[in-house]
Amino acid sequence: MIAEHDVLVLGAGNAGIAAAGAAAAAGQRVLVVEARDVGGVCPLRGCVPKKVLVAAAQVLDAIARAGTHRIAVGAPVLDWPGLIERERTFVEGVPEQFEKSLADRGIALLRGRARFTGRREVSVAGERHAAGKIVVATGSTPRSLPIPGAEHLVTSDALLELPALPESITFVGAGVIAFEFAHVLARAGSRVTLLEVAPRVLPTLDPDATDRLAALTRELGVRIETSVAIDGIERRGDGYAIRYRSGGASAVARSECAANGAGRVADLAGLDLAAAGITLEGGRVELDAYLRSVENPDVFFAGDAIPGRPQLSPLATYEGRVVGHNLTHDALEPARYGHQPAAVYTVPALATVGWSEAAAREAGFDFDVRTHDMTGWRSARTHGETAAWAKVLVEKGSGRILGAHLVGHGAEETIHAFAIAVEKGMPASELAERVYAYPTFHADIKYMVS
Give tens-digit pLDDT for 29-45: 999 999 999 998 888 88
Pair 277, 384 in one domain: no
DSSP alpha helix (H) spans, 137-235: 156-159, 176-188, 207-219
Q: Which candidate, 313, 350, 57, 305, places its Cα nearest to that of 202?
A: 350
Q: Which candidate, 205, 214, 211, places its Cα nearest to that of 403?
A: 205
Task: Specify if 82 maps to a domain.
Answer: no
Give tens-digit pLDDT for 261-307: 999 999 999 999 999 999 998 778 999 999 999 999 999 999 999 98
Q: What is the CATH number of the domain that holds 249?
A: 3.50.50.60
CA dist 405 and 212 (Å) reads 11
Which of 228, 262, 296 is the last residue before a domain boundary? Answer: 262
Task: Specify if 54 maps to a domain.
Answer: no
Measured at the CA of 104, the angle between CA 100 and CA 106, to 5 degrees, comes to 115
pLDDT of residue 227: 97
Pair 223, 127 in one domain: no
Pair 184, 286 in one domain: no
Pair 250, 282 in one domain: no
Domain tally for the chain?
Answer: 3
Pair 6, 121 in one domain: yes
Pairing of the two strands 257-260 and 168-172: parallel
Task: Specify if 79 maps to a domain.
Answer: no
For residues 154 and 33, the answer to whether their CB atoms sit within 8 Å is no
For residues 124 and 116, the answer to whether their CB atoms sit within 8 Å is no
Pair 187, 230 in one domain: yes
Pair 280, 237 in one domain: no
pLDDT of residue 309: 82
Task: Specify if 252 maps to a domain.
Answer: yes
Q: What is the DSSP letter of 143?
A: P
Q: Does 414 score more than 90 pLDDT?
A: yes
Which of 241, 262, 283 is the last residue before a domain boundary? Answer: 262
Q: What is the DSSP letter of 309?
A: S
In the chain, the amino acid numbered 5 is H
Neighbours of 313 (CB within 10 A): 19
For residues 348 and 386, the answer to whether their CB atoms sit within 8 Å is yes
Give tens-digit pLDDT for 40-89: 888 888 899 999 999 999 999 999 999 999 999 999 999 999 999 999 99
- The band of 208, judged by pLDDT with boundaries at 50, 70 and 90, is very high
Give tens-digit pLDDT for 115-168: 999 999 999 999 999 999 999 999 999 999 999 999 999 999 999 999 999 999
- The band of 1, judged by pLDDT with boundaries at 50, 70 and 90, is confident
Read off the pLDDT of each residue in 212-228 and give the average, rounded to a whole number. 97
Pair 102, 181 in one domain: no
Range of the domain at 363: 342-448
Pair 97, 228 in one domain: no
Partners of 367 in beta bridges? 395
Pair 298, 233 in one domain: no
Q: What is the CATH number of the domain that holds 379?
A: 3.30.390.30
Task: Specify if 71 maps to a domain.
Answer: no
Q: Which candidate, 6, 291, 235, 286, places its Cα nearest to that of 120?
A: 6
pLDDT of residue 135: 98
Read off the pLDDT of each residue in 185-209 and give the average, rounded to a whole number. 96
Measured at the CA of 264, the angle between CA 261 and CA 266, to 5 degrees, comes to 165
Which of 262, 283, 302 is the last residue before a domain boundary? Answer: 262
Q: Which candidate, 2, 271, 268, 300, places its Cα nearest to that of 115?
A: 271
Q: Any idea of the CA torsion for 170, 174, 179, 185, to the nearest 10 degrees?
A: 0
For residue 443, give the 3-state DSSP assignment. Answer: helix
Q: Does the pTM of the predicted model rise above 0.85?
A: yes
CA dist 217 and 373 (Å) reads 17
Task: Specify if 389 maps to a domain.
Answer: yes
Pair 12, 118 in one domain: yes
Task: Specify if 408 maps to a domain.
Answer: yes
- The band of 310, judged by pLDDT with boundaries at 50, 70 and 90, is confident
pLDDT above 70 covers what percent of the chain? 100
Strands (E) in 137-204, as ranges, are: 140-142, 168-172, 191-195
Q: What is the DSSP letter of 88?
A: H
Pair 161, 132 in one domain: no
For residues 327 and 22, the answer to whether their CB atoms sit within 8 Å is yes
Task: Specify if 337 maps to a domain.
Answer: no
